[in-house]
C-alpha cells in the first residue's frame, strides 16, 4: 500500500530557520491516525491512534510566530510515544482545531470519554492531601 492509497486530511513538514521546510520530518493526519515520518534513506514512521490522545498543548515561541509557525504537543495514552511533539508547523491554530475535530470524532466513534483513559491509581484526595499508607 503506497502513500497514494491513504486519504490524508492534512500533511506538512517540520519547519526550520525562517519557516522553511528543509527537514526530513513529515507529519500526516488521516481521519483515524497521526503519522510522523522521519528520515531520508532510512525512514522511521510512528503512528498513533487519535482516540488515545488525552490532552493537547499549543506552543507559540517568538521566532516560530514570526514565520507563522508553532508547535503542538499531544499527550497520548500510548506505550512507545506518550508525548508526541508536532514541531514547527505552519498555521498551528488551524491544525490544532483540525486535530480537535478528528480526536473528538474518533472518541465518539468508540464511545470513549476522557475519564475512560485515566489511570485507576490515585494517590491524593480532592482536598490535595496525599493518602499513602505506610
For residues 11 and 28, is the Cβ–Cβ distance under 8 A?
A: yes
Along the 134 residues of the chain, how does pLDDT read in single tens digits? 556 678 999 999 999 888 899 999 999 999 999 999 999 999 999 999 999 999 999 999 999 999 999 999 999 999 999 999 999 999 999 999 999 999 999 999 998 876 666 654 344 445 555 455 44
Element spanning 97, H or E? helix 92-110
Task: Compute φ and ψ for 128, nearest 5 degrees.
Answer: 95, -10
Indicate the domain borders of the chain.
3-96
Per-residue b/e over 100-117, b at no fewer than 16 CB within 10 Å? Answer: eebbeebbeeeeeeeeee
Report the predicted TM-score, pTM, of the whole model to 2 decimal places. 0.82
Per-residue pLDDT at 2: 59
Architecture in CATH for domain 3-96: Roll (2.30)
**Grid cell in block for residue 37:** 515520518
Assigned C-alpha cell, 36: 510522523
Amino acid at each position: 500500500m503506497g502513500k497514494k492509497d491513504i486519504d490524508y486530511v492534512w500533511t506538512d513538514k517540520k519547519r526550520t530557520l525562517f519557516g522553511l521546510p528543509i527537514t526530513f520530518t513529515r507529519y500526516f493526519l488521516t481521519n483515524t491516525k497521526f503519522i510522523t515520518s522521519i528520515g531520508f534513506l532510512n525512514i522511521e514512521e510512528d503512528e498513533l491512534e487519535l482516540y488515545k490522545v488525552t490532552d493537547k498543548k499549543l506552543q507559540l515561541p517568538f521566532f516560530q510566530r514570526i514565520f507563522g509557525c508553532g508547535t503542538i504537543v499531544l499527550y497520548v495514552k500510548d506505550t512507545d510515544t506518550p508525548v508526541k511533539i508536532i514541531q514547527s508547523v505552519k498555521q498551528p491554530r488551524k491544525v490544532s482545531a483540525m486535530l480537535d475535530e478528528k480526536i473528538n470524532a474518533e472518541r465518539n466513534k468508540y464511545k470513549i470519554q476522557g475519564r475512560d483513559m485515566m489511570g485507576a491509581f490515585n494517590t491524593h484526595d480532592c482536598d490535595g492531601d496525599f493518602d499513602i499508607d505506610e
